[in-house]
Amino acid sequence: MIPILAAFQFLTILPAVVRRPFTAVEMGRAVGWYPFVGLALGGLLYGLQGALRFVFPDALTAALTLSVWVVLTRALHLDGFMDSFDALFGGFTPERRLEIMKDPRIGTFGMAGGVLLLLTKFTVLVDSPRFFFGLLLAPVVGRWVISLAVFAYPYAREKGLGRDMKDNVGWPQIVLATLTALAAAWIFGGWMGLAALVAGGLAGVLAAGYMLRLIPGLTGDSYGALCEGVEMLVLLVFMGLSHVV
């Protein structure tokens, strides 16, 4: 149970159950449970949105749902998305980009990227049907891509939490994460869910490849950027397919 609890405590704002630092091995094994955390988060948001629509207009429902989404994750991935935008577009050398990524301040590129990301998510949520499975699956696919990225790509820094995860994640965690994501996509989204899963995986590969052209490896901020970008893509895929079908 420790890896599951580590995943929830690291990725969400839920109260800590284990009141001690997790070991590097535990953090590595927790990576396999990331999509499960995403499923719990998505289910909560899905239910919340459905309930709020009975009380509030669509725009306010979308705003409240998105606000809860950010709060439940402590804006962890959003912060990584904004830091990555600042670093990748504001630096001119790999060393400078990594330095910018560590700076807690948000610059112009990061602010613009964060605003556009939230605006896109908000717009999709406003226009979504009452029972919108894209909202349920977006956190699953986003965290599945994190699991793959931790395992498959080099880590940029010699020390840190990301390094601990990278050094201790293996095939069992990737198999668990992928099976969880596949099952959730098929059960809750059918062929549309599988399409969103494939699109998210391809987008993650392309985005990670672009990042590795600019920095020597991924970081925790990179993982957050991948998650946020893939979540947005899944929402767009579901919205686009729902209009076509």
Q: What confidence tens digit (pLDDT) does each residue in 211-228 have? A: 999 999 999 999 999 999
Q: What is the pLDDT of residues 34-53, one digit of tens each?
A: 999 999 999 999 999 999 99
Enumerate residues 6+ apart whose C-beta is below 8 A from 117.
78, 81, 228, 229, 232
Give pLDDT, residue 16. 81
Checking if the pLDDT of 130 tops 70, the result is no
What is the model's pTM? 0.96
The predicted model gives 6-27 an average pLDDT of 90
Q: What is the pLDDT of residues 98-128, one digit of tens each?
A: 999 999 899 999 999 999 999 999 999 998 8
Give pLDDT, residue 131. 61
Give pLDDT, residue 127. 86
pLDDT band at 196 (very low <50, low <70, confident <90, very high): very high
Range 99-108 contact pairs with CB under 8 angstroms and sequence separation of 24 or more: 101/215, 101/219, 101/221, 106/82
The predicted model gives 46-69 an average pLDDT of 95
Q: Are 140 and 42 in contact (CB under 8 A)?
A: yes
Pick from 95, 141, 96: nearest CA to 236: 141
Between the alpha carbon of residue 212 and those of residues 64, 114, 159, 217, the distances in Å are 36, 21, 18, 6
Taking the CB of residue 9, how many other CB atoms lie within 10 A of it? Answer: 18
- Give the CA-trace dihedral at 149, 155, 157, 161, to 10 degrees: 50
